[in-house]
Chain A
Amino acid sequence: MRVEPLLAVKDLSLRRADGAPVLRDLRFEVGRGEILGVVGQSGSGKSQLLLSLLGLAMRGATLSGSAKFGAQELVGASEGALRRLRGTQIAMLFQDPLLSWNPYLRIGIQLAEVLRMRGIDAAAARTRACRALADVDLAEPERVLRQYPHELSGGMRQRAMLAMATLSTPALLLADEPTTALDPTTQRRVLQRMRVLREQGMSIVLVTHDLGVVAAVADRVLVLEHGVIVEQGEAARLLRAPAGEYTRTLLNAARELEGLSCLS
């Protein structure tokens, strides 16, 4: 029996307002409890792919095709339907942990806000926010709740952001280069947390240009070039024996850098 995927994307295309294609005929699936790595160069449309799934693609752009999240069709869904999914069912994590926080509000307030909006009372929201911070290995979560974003280090901010994104245990987490701005230690912590989330049944779409990250956590990989999928498959197989020219180029570039920095 074939297991129903959590997200099934068919012929998804995105055109800019001026008609230029950003994404072309994407076709892929994300299973339950699976981490899908999306790799590609800057400008290959990775971030736009994630945003368009949430109905937040660039202004004036047109989305066509189909993206089924469970039974819910995301393409062409009403703003209200999409908003009900955002945050609760589908959460998103951004690259820059400083920019994704409102600089004028305390961490605790911003975390609680997400829960309060869904009718959870203040005390319960605070307890859950506190537990979520502890789950991402942040020391003294009570203190972090009272702090402003600029008082935390970059790594702490990103882990807090991960806590916020997974606060209402979404079924699908869209992560847009979540580790790019982090030091290796924090990277490992964030990836470790992602593995735990996967074990708990969460599906993750992990956009990155770091093949090391893909090798570390992704189950399957999708390679995107100029808005077109050039290759996809099992992560282990694809990284060992890439079929496409473009994938090989990416891999070679990564190996070269690794050789330079003498890291495993």
Chain B
Amino acid sequence: MKVSLPRLSLLLLAGIALGALIVPWISPFDYYTPDWDHTSQGPQWQGGHLLGTDELGRDLLVRLMWGCRISLLVALAASFISLVIGVLWGVVAGYRGGRVDAVMMRVVDVLYSVPFTPFVVVLTVLFGRDLVLLFIAIGAVSWLDIARVVRAQTLGLKAREFITAAEVAGLPAVTIMRRHIVPNLIGVTLVCLTLTIPAIITTEAFLSYIGLGAQSPLTSLGVMLADGAAQMRARPLLLVLPATLLIALVYACNRLGDALRDRHAG
């Protein structure tokens, strides 16, 4: 098998996902119970704390993997939400056209102009800090891009003859959208999605870093970055490890997205 950057990226992603899934499961430690006898330990093979512990004596490896779990979970859930809304919105706007299209896309424009961070702050003030809220907040923002791309693509498809052929065959508009337009959007939406996921991962990390995301004792890569930054002089490992993981995740996703886009374009 040829070694290529996209392949390595896929491998890296799979590795991180697998680790995030398995490590907390087989490890004797959990992510929330403090162990006051072993606080702030370095990496060691005896005692089982492979990467050491944090200042509360919690196993670093398990917490890192839990962080990945949360980050990936938020990314998948939020991108799924944005995918569903974005595709529906874009297809209806593009296919219906005219006034419907104008109104729907102006809604997108207006939402686009809402500053994101204050929006999330207001949400957390109103509804409290919650992981589900994080899904909704990120999903609510990232569907806008997908809707725009999908609409543009739908406009192109609508001019294609097989759509006219379907109309001439008397198929109702809903069937045409569902059977003839959406399947033809798979390529472009997939590409869009692989580029949305890393954006969501960084957004989640950012929100958690400033304290609006996952709440202690639950962790995410952003939370761990914030904790690590607090003691980066004494124990740089606490900052370097989550940062490396975050960069690896985002880089792998982006590479994969680029590769998909190239293949789709070619």
| Chain A residues proximal to chain B, CB less than 8 Å | 51, 54, 56, 59, 83-88, 91-92, 94, 96, 99-105, 113-114, 117, 161, 164-165
A27 and B12 CA atoms in complex are apart in Å by 70
A164 and B169 CA atoms in complex are apart in Å by 9
User: B175: which A residues are within 8 A, CB to CB?
Assistant: 113, 117
User: B165: which A residues are within 8 A, CB to CB?
Assistant: 92, 94, 100-101, 161
B166: contacting residue among A88, A96, A102, A165, CB under 8 A: A102
B183 at the interface (CB under 8 A from A): yes
With A94-B165, A99-B160, A100-B165 as contacts: A113 and B179 at CB distance below 8 Å: yes
B168 at the interface (CB under 8 A from A): yes
User: B161: which A residues are within 8 A, CB to CB?
Assistant: 94, 96, 99-100
User: B162: which A residues are within 8 A, CB to CB?
Assistant: 99-103
With A94-B164, A117-B175 as contacts: A102 and B170 at CB distance below 8 Å: no
A239 and B167 CA atoms in complex are apart in Å by 35
Instruction: Tell me how far the C-beta of B162 lies from the nearest C-beta in chain A, rounded to whole angstroms.
Output: 5
User: A86: which B residues are within 8 A, CB to CB?
Assistant: 167-170
Residue of A nearest to B161 (CB): A99
Contact across chains for B169 and A114 when beta carbons are under 8 A apart = yes
Within 8 A of A (CB), among B156-185: 160-162, 164-172, 175, 179-180, 183-184
User: A102: which B residues are within 8 A, CB to CB?
Assistant: 162, 166, 179-180, 183-184
A87: contacting residue among B160, B164, B170, B184, CB under 8 A: B170
Residue of B nearest to A104 (CB): B183
A53 and B219 CA atoms in complex are apart in Å by 64
Residue of A nearest to B175 (CB): A117
Contact across chains for B167 and A56 when beta carbons are under 8 A apart = yes
A59 and B167 CA atoms in complex are apart in Å by 14
A103 and B167 CA atoms in complex are apart in Å by 16
Instruction: Tell me how far the C-beta of A116 lies from the nearest C-beta in chain B, rounded to whole angstroms.
Output: 10
Contact across chains for A103 and B170 when beta carbons are under 8 A apart = no
Instruction: Tell me how far the C-beta of B94 lies from the nearest C-beta in chain A, rounded to whole angstroms.
Output: 14
Residue of A nearest to B157 (CB): A102
A88 and B168 CA atoms in complex are apart in Å by 10
Q: Kindly supply a per-residue 1/0 record for chain B positions 117-129, scoring 1 wherever the CB is within 8 Å of any chain A CB and 0 otherwise.
A: 0000000000000
Residue of A nearest to B164 (CB): A56
Contact across chains for A83 and B184 when beta carbons are under 8 A apart = no
Within 8 A of A (CB), among B130-163: 160-162
Residue of B nearest to A59 (CB): B97
Instruction: State the 8 A-B residue pairs at the shortest beta-carbon distance, nearest first.
Output: A87-B170, A86-B170, A99-B161, A92-B168, A87-B169, A100-B165, A104-B183, A102-B162
Instruction: Tell me how far the C-beta of B24 lies from the nearest C-beta in chain A, rounded to whole angstroms.
Output: 40
Residue of B nearest to A87 (CB): B170
Within 8 A of A (CB), among B49-86: none
With A102-B180, A102-B184, A103-B184 as contacts: A117 and B170 at CB distance below 8 Å: yes
Residue of B nearest to A60 (CB): B98
User: B184: which A residues are within 8 A, CB to CB?
Assistant: 102-104
User: B183: which A residues are within 8 A, CB to CB?
Assistant: 102, 104-105
List 20 A–B pairs whose Cβ atoms lie within 8 Å, in order of A's numbering. A51-B164, A85-B170, A86-B169, A86-B170, A92-B165, A92-B168, A94-B165, A100-B161, A100-B162, A102-B162, A102-B166, A102-B179, A102-B180, A103-B162, A103-B184, A105-B183, A113-B169, A113-B171, A113-B175, A117-B172
Given contacts A51-B164, A84-B170, A103-B162, 7 further A-B contacts (CB under 8 A): A83-B170, A102-B166, A102-B184, A117-B171, A117-B175, A164-B169, A165-B169
A101 and B184 CA atoms in complex are apart in Å by 12
Residue of A nearest to B160 (CB): A99
With A104-B184, A105-B179, A113-B179 as contacts: A88 and B164 at CB distance below 8 Å: no
